[in-house]
A and B are shown apart, each in its own frame.
Chain A
Amino acid sequence: MSSLLKSREAILALAILILLALIASRFPGFVSPLNLANVFTDTSPLIILALGQMVVIVTKCIDLSVAANLALTGMIAAMMNGAGVPLPLILLTVIALGATLGAVNGLLVWKLDIPSIVVTLGTMTIYRGIIFLLTDGKWINAHEMTEGFKALPRLIFLGLPIMAWMAVAVIVLTVVLVRRTALGRAFFAVGGNAHAAVYTGISVGRTQMAAFVISGALAGFTGYLWVARYAVAYVDIAGGFELDVVAACVIGGIAIAGGAGTVAGCVMGALFLGIIKNALPVVGISPFWQMAISGAAILIAIAFNSRNQGPKGRIILKKAEHRA
């Protein structure tokens, strides 16, 4: 029992249950299965992006360009749809394009050795700028998209919209990636101890680049989902969403210093934020408090994180340690 309580995931799950109970006491309709399914669907883009971000953060990098990547690929998806390109081809293109945008980040981090926060801060602005160049700031609106294009994320399959199933699929794929593949283990090795990783024959830069490519591909895919769901594409869509994505990871216990984190924690971190975002409009909390509440949740999570950090490794030479 005590070991269960110590696990971050258990604490987070408990926090989510308490949160739901609190919300239900003010607005009982929120915890109806149908509404919870809606909340999960609404949180799907955040879950998908947070999982991509998790892989990047685990390698001791950060990807601030995900929302801009999403906006650019989403815009291109909408433009391709306008040009009459069939949907499967659009999906393949946005994923490939997202991966390419991620690879640009990865290459800059790897080959030029620039800190990832600087690289992605730069590409974030560049990607949004490209949207402006492509569109002159014009919007692509609901009536300019085909019905099929808008309908896919909304199609109900086994009781849930496709959008939610996409999140489930990405969760499963990420679990397989981090637990069952060499690349998955390399992510943790690189982030946990880069020097040790090099000695075991892992290329740090190449691994980090792979993480960026995965994050980019997921952002590209989410770009389509986002634009199809909200039926509008313009320069500023998902503005500031990268911060939500990073926050979901932090709440989920992904160590910002790299090397630690679980898929379950990440998903729950995203759900935690998603529940707050969906509940605040219905529980009647003043909008002036909403941001403060979201911010407080993040701070509490970080405080927990730093307290729960395990021992950093065994000190072999005590004398040397004292001399230093």
Chain B
Amino acid sequence: MSILKKALTTAALATALLAATGAHAEPKRIALVVKALGIGFFEAAAKGAEEAAKELGDVEIIYTGPTDTTAEGQIEVINSLIAQKVDAIAVSANDTDALVPTLKKAMDRGITVISWDSGVAPEGRMMHLNPSSNPLIGNMIIKLAADNLPEGGEVAVLSATTTSTNQNTWIEEMNKVMGNYPGVTVVGTVYGDDLADKSYREAQGLMQTYPNLKAIIAPTSVGIVAAAQAVTDAGKIGQINVTGLGLPSEMAGHVKSGASKSFAIWNPIDLGYSATMIAYNLANGTAKAEAGAEIPMGRMGSVKLDDKLEGAMADPFVYDASNIDAFSSIF
């Protein structure tokens, strides 16, 4: 065998080997497309996605999005992701319908497309991951109040406007599960119209009308802050617990003062983690997005899809004095 022949064989062998190992280690590239870059909530979701990637090993996360929350910006970003031939796109959409044609194009090229947090119309994605579901939220808000009332007591709801669909649905779901919390009675529902001053006044009114009130449940971010301030000003910290749905950055002070023992909202880290896990499983073919399917999400369990190919991730995440500092800087 001539030296030349030997060298050539070696080179060919090496190339083949390289190609083989390359094919083996080719990581799945999953793009996390967010409403806009620089938003704490989504930066936290990206952190969760990286966590999932580390756990899975052969995943590369592309965290991207437009600089402002426009559908046009997202379309540009998605087009460039299609050109890069990523394996999966998980998007929190700025517009339900505007992204559909672009995402369809992506699916036509064999890219797995899911939406999370803020959904896309069904024809533009394989499935949608909701952070939670109405029944889970309804149950959580009363559970938050009941957990701090071992002996039961009177609680009242401070909602947004009388016509807010979200809040009305959650309160309805809450009333359905009231039987699971014996001793806790909802004495009234008032509406603060998502105005700080009206919510504050309504909270004052609740304290006057129901002297034995033990908790105010406010499933709205404006209401919960106003109620906490009203309880603080009335000197009733420790006597009345304010809870419901709020944002950690807005509630940090009231959790520290004790006006609110705990409150809930989705956990963006878990959301990014779950979206990545789902995108990976769908892209790999280990799970299929069809009605009734259960798609595994690593440490978050699994998500069950309904007829509209939507699923709920988990209970809202509970924030209290132990974790508020870690999250208040995030969102």
Chain A residues at the B interface, C-beta cutoff of 8 Å: 27, 29-30, 35, 38, 42, 139, 141-144, 154, 226, 230-232, 236-241, 277-278, 280-282, 284, 287-288
Contacts and interface: CB of A to CB of B under 8 A. Distances in A.
B208 A238 contact: no
B205 A282 contact: yes
Contacts of B47: none
Interface in B159-175: 162
B87 interface: no
Contacts of A284: 209
- Interface residue SS majority, chain B: helix
Q: Identify the interface centre among A30, A226, A232: most chain B CB within 10 Å of its CB.
A: A232
Contact of A142 (B198, B202, B204, B225): B225
Contacts of A238: 195-197
A154 B200 CA distance: 15
Contact of A230 (B162, B202, B208, B226): B226
A282 B208 contact: yes
Nearest to B210: A282
B253 A141 contact: yes
B307 interface: no
Contacts of A231: 225, 229, 253
Given A27-B208, A141-B253, A231-B253, 4 more contacts: A142-B229, A230-B197, A281-B209, A287-B191
B255 to A, nearest CB: 9
B250 interface: yes
B127 interface: no
12 contacts: A27-B209, A30-B208, A35-B208, A38-B204, A42-B201, A142-B253, A230-B226, A237-B196, A238-B196, A240-B195, A282-B209, A284-B209
Interface residues of B, number: 27
B208 A29 contact: yes
A143 B201 contact: no
A68 to B, nearest CB: 14
A277 B249 CA distance: 30
- Interface residue SS majority, chain A: helix
A159 to B, nearest CB: 17
Contacts of A278: 201, 204-205
Contacts of B202: 281
A225 to B, nearest CB: 11
Contacts of B125: none
A55 to B, nearest CB: 23
Interface in B104-151: none
Contacts of B254: 142-143
A143 B328 CA distance: 11
A230 B200 contact: yes
B252 interface: yes
B253 A143 contact: yes
A226 B196 CA distance: 10
A30 B204 CA distance: 12
Given A141-B249, A230-B226, A231-B229, A277 B162 contact: no
Nearest to B252: A143
Question: Which 7 A-B pairs have CB atoms at the shortest separation, nearest pair first?
Answer: A281-B205, A143-B253, A142-B253, A230-B196, A287-B191, A282-B205, A141-B250
Nearest to B191: A287
A27 B228 CA distance: 24
Contacts of B190: 281, 287
Contacts of B197: 226, 230, 237-238, 241
Contacts of A42: 201
A232 B249 contact: no
B229 A287 contact: no
Nearest to B198: A277
A230 B233 CA distance: 10
Nearest to A231: B229
B206 interface: yes
A278 B253 CA distance: 26
A154 B233 contact: yes
Interface in B207-242: 208-209, 225-226, 228-229, 233
Nearest to A286: B162
Nearest to B324: A143
